[in-house]
Each structure stands twice: as C-alpha cells, then as structure tokens.
Amino acid sequence: AEMGRAFVYVILGGGVAAGYAALEFSRKGISPGDLCIISEESVVPYERPALSKGFLLPEAPARLPSFHTCVGANDERLTPKWYREHGIELVLGTRVRSVDVRRKTLLTATGETISYKILIVATGARALKLEEFGVKGSEAENVCYLRNVADATRLVNVMQSCVGGNAVVIGGGYIGMECAASLVINKINVTVVFPEAHCMARLFTPKIAQYYEDYYKSKGVKFVKGTVLSSFETNSEGKVTAVTLRDGTRLPADMVVVGIGIRANTSLFDDQLTLEKGGIKVNGRLQTSNSSVYAVGDVAAFPVKIFNEIRRLEHVDSARKSARHAVAAIMEPNKTGDFDYLPFFYSRVFTLSWQFYGDNVGEAVHFGDFSDKTFGAYWVYKGQITGSFLEGCSKEEYEAIAKLTRLRPMVQDLDELAKQGLEFALKN
C-alpha cells in the first residue's frame, strides 16, 4: 500500500476512552494535525452506557448528538464540530486491519497506511456471540446484541415491532438486566435466562441479587435460572419464534436479546504486545510492552495499585480515567505518576440506582433496610474493608463509601459494622 498520512498521536478506536483522551489532549495543548482518531464506528465518541438506558426509553429517548463524550463526566460535549475546530483528524467508519508496532504504522480496511509516533489502543471489547458457546442463530433478524449505536438502533426497531409480545433475554449481567428493564418499560413481556443462581453473579451477593430480582418480578419480569439456551425455533422467514433451554423449557419469543459477556479487542496485537487477563498489559503509565504504544479502557490490563494486582476492567469510569491518565503520561511525563485507580461500577434500572467501589472479595456484611429503598454492603477481606455497595442513596453518601473503600480501614467486629452500616462510612 501507498504511504498515507502521518500523525504524532493516533488513537485506535473511537469509543469512550477515545473521547476522553481527545479532550485531555486538547487541554494539554496539541497542534492541529497532531492527533488522529480511527474508528470502525461511523459516529464520533459517545457515552456507551446510554445505549442500554436512555436510548431504549419509549418516551423522549436519548439520541446522538446528546450523549457524545464527555457529558457523562459533566464535561464538554465533543461534537464533530469540536473535533474539526481542534484540528483533530477523524477517520470514521474505518476498520484497522493490521498494526505494525515496529514500523509504527496501521493499515486500514480501505488500504491506507497511517503512521504514528505514539499510539493509544482504545479498541474496547466486542460482545460474545452465541456461536462461541455452540448455539446457532445469531444472524436471525430478531436476535439482538448490544455493544454499539448500530446495535442499539436495531434493538429499538425490533423492540418497537414487539410491543405486547414476548422477549427472552439471555444473560443476567449488566446488559441482560438493563435491557430487561428497558423492554418492560416498552411494554414487552420479559423472561431472563441465565445459568447462575442469581443475577449479576460476578458482583452481587445472593441477598443483594434477591432485592433486584424481586423488584424486577414486581414489574412482571420472569427469571429462569440455572440453565442456558440450547436452541432456537425459527419460522420460514428465519425469524426466531421460540427458544428452548437445556432444562427442556420452551419459551415463545418475538425477540431475543443476548448479553453473555464480552472479549477485549486485542487481536491486532496478539503477537506484538504482552497480554494479560485477556487484555493488553500496561504499566502504571498505561504503557504497553512497546514504549510507543499505550492501551486504555476495556482493552487494557493495568496495575490496580490498591489491590497490588493487574486487572482488566469493563467499566466506563475506568475507561475515562485511564484515557486521561495515559494522555497525561504522554504529554507531561515528569509530572505524571502511576495510575492509582479505585474500581467503580454502577448501574441504573427502573428508578433504582446502585454504586460499587473496590473489590468484592472476602466476607460480605450487609446493612440497611432491604425491604426499603436504601441498603448496602461492605466486603471485608483479611480484616480490612475492600469493597462497598450502596443502593438508593445521595451523592454525599456514595462519596462516603468511595472514600472509605480507598482508606481500607481495619474492622474487628462485623456485627457492629453491620449495625453501624452507612454511618460507619459517614463518620470515617
């Protein structure tokens, strides 16, 4: 291929991390023409979490340009115009086919070679397909996945054609649970199917999960737990009409939403960079095993200082903050230390809203009133608070548990901790 354009900085991927990195680059002072963002998506970076929430609402749904980055962190909204005004080159709707980290070049699907001095890999993750679990049927027109705005647009169309009908949601994680809530709000009958004993199995305790499952049930959602999808029944048009589960249950379906996990998009670098925990391994400066290449967001496995361990997180807050930190490390190397990140996850469904900080290891100590709207839990590991969860509280109260988790205080008496509950965080 012919030699194409050359940039000082290239961001590969145009998702959440790319948007936050772009804002940070502009604040640190780049010149027009220095930075290029290459994305397979045809729109500029946006707040991906909106796709399973506001985007799916039946009334006044969120639509671009309203949720471009960086509105999710109460920051500037970066529209296409903003990128133009800042001289940031956008190569949208373009897949990068290969990267040569030794020669510092990328080859796009359109045949252009783009070179960089510094590359930030922000390729995020892709939804796992049913086929990867030995089930056929992903291509049916009423089977939906949800990762990008194209998926979400398709999901909305399918959903609108199913009002009053039945949806089967495969998976009890974030995507499954948030979509189930949205489908119900759209007046669709929902059954959620997952193999674990309760929803959000990687994070929730059985007691926390019970609260949310009861709430969903009160909205009409059904759960089929401890089993998985085995096959689809389809009609002559190739549409799914029912799903069969491994336990023999048959569920009629006008649509199916699949949320069975993600894989980080590392494949361009599998033979070129050091990988760990399914992601690209980086140091505290978000720098990979090649010093000209950084990785941020869902694709990065980075040292989480307070746990003294390399982790790959799949959450928007870590995408935003790792992106900013990488840019600071690139632009102000002497002023920038190691990324010191406290893991933070959240979700909002119906009128519920929870936040989690830290790590859910050790013993869970529940507090508050689980029959009411506000409750929580601390996780105590080796005598220290390492994680905390809170539902239905104020900004100050969430900040209090975040601060507490960062401090990791020793606790002796778990009964006393349960009794004090949120007070323990507020007085610390």
Positions touching ligand FAD (CB under 6 A) are 13-18, 38-41, 48-49, 51-52, 95-96, 122-125, 146-147, 174-175, 265, 268, 297-299, 314-317, 319, 345-347
Burial class of residue 59 in the structure, from the number of CB atoms within 10 Å of its CB (0-12 exposed, 13-18 middle, 19+ buried): exposed
Buried b (16+ CB within 10 A) or exposed e, 7-29: bebbbbbbbbbbbbbbbbbbeee
Q: And the tokens for 348? A: 């909002």
Q: Are 384 and 358 in contact (CB under 8 A)?
A: no
Are 245 and 225 contacting, i.e. CB atoms less than 8 angstroms apart?
no
Task: Kindly tell me which of 8 and 107 has the beta carbon lying closer to ligand FAD.
Answer: 107
Tell me the closest approach of the beta carbon of residue 365 to ligand FAD, in angstroms. Answer: 24
Which is nearer to ligand FAD, 17 or 188 (by Cβ)?
A: 17
Nearer to ligand FAD, 263 or 315 (CB): 315
Least separation in angstroms between residue 401's CB and ligand FAD is 16
> For residues 121 and 243, which CB has a smaller minimum distance to ligand FAD in the complex?
121
Which residues does residue 120 pair with via DSSP β-bridges, in sequence order? 11, 294
In angstroms, give the least distance from the CB of 206 to ligand FAD. 22
In 3-state terms, what secondary structure has residue 328? Answer: helix
Task: Quote the least distance from Cβ 357 to ligand FAD, whole Å.
Answer: 12
List the structure tokens of 10: 């290239």
Minimum CB separation of residue 149 from ligand FAD in Å reads 9
Shortest distance (Å) from residue 106 CB to ligand FAD: 9
Least distance (Å) from ligand FAD to the CB of residue 270?
13
The CB-of-126 to ligand FAD minimum distance in angstroms stands at: 7
Which of 239, 263 has the CB closer to ligand FAD? Answer: 263
Half-sphere exposure of 401 (CA within 13 A, CB side): 29
Phi, psi (rounded to 5 degrees) for 55: -65, -30
Residue whose CB is less far from ligand FAD, 43 or 331 = 43
Residue 342 DSSP class: -
The DSSP string of 142-188 is TEE--SSHHHHHHHHHHHHT-TTSEEEEE-SSHHHHHHHHHHHHTT-
End-to-end CA distance of the chain: 61
Return the number of the residue (296 or 385) whose C-beta is nearest ligand FAD: 296
- In angstroms, the CA 327 to CA 333 distance is 9
Least Å distance, CB 413 to ligand FAD, is 33
CA dihedral 288, 292, 293, 294 (to 10 degrees): 70
Q: Based on CB atoms, which residue is closest to ligand FAD, 118 or 313? A: 313
Q: Which residues of 95-128 are buried (b: 16+ CB within 10 A; e: fewer)?
A: ebeebebeebbbbbeeebbbbbebbbbbbbbebb
Number of Cβ within a 10 Å radius of residue 273 = 19
CB of 236 to ligand FAD, least distance (A): 32
Q: Which CB sits closer to ligand FAD, 15 or 172?
A: 15
The SS3 of residue 80 is helix
Closest chain position to ligand FAD (CB): 15
- With respect to ligand FAD, which residue has the nearer C-beta, 286 or 299? 299
